[in-house]
Amino acid sequence: MLRRKGKTNLKGLQDFLREEEGMGTVEIILIIVVLIGLVIIFKTQLRSLVQKVFDKITRDSNTVMS
């Protein structure tokens, strides 16, 4: 009887590990948290890079429009 109960619990554990419902949401939330953390850590570098890109776009667009 005890052995049968153990098999049932093991089967339940295997089913639980194979089930993938809800994992997509958790994964998306973790990715968002990591991206927000990276933005916070590298905020000044990102701001500088974006400023340089926009300056170059503005200069190049002025040469095209002239």
Is 7 part of a structural domain of the chain? no
DSSP helix, strand, coil percent of the chain (3-state; round to 5): 90, 0, 10
The tens digit of pLDDT for each residue in 14-59 reads 777 777 666 678 888 999 999 999 999 999 999 999 999 999 999 9
pLDDT of residue 12: 79
Within a domain: 61 = yes
How many domains does one find in the chain? 1
Question: How far apart are the C-alpha atoms of 50 and 44, rounded to whole Å?
Answer: 10
In-domain check, residue 14: no
Is-contact 39 46, C-beta < 8 A?
yes
Q: Is residue 9 part of a domain?
A: no
**Residue range 2-16: mean pLDDT, rounded:** 65
Q: Is residue 39 part of a domain?
A: yes
Claim: this prediction has a pTM higher than 0.75: no
Tell me the residue range of the domain where 27 lies: 22-66
Q: Which residue has the higher pLDDT, 2 or 46?
A: 46
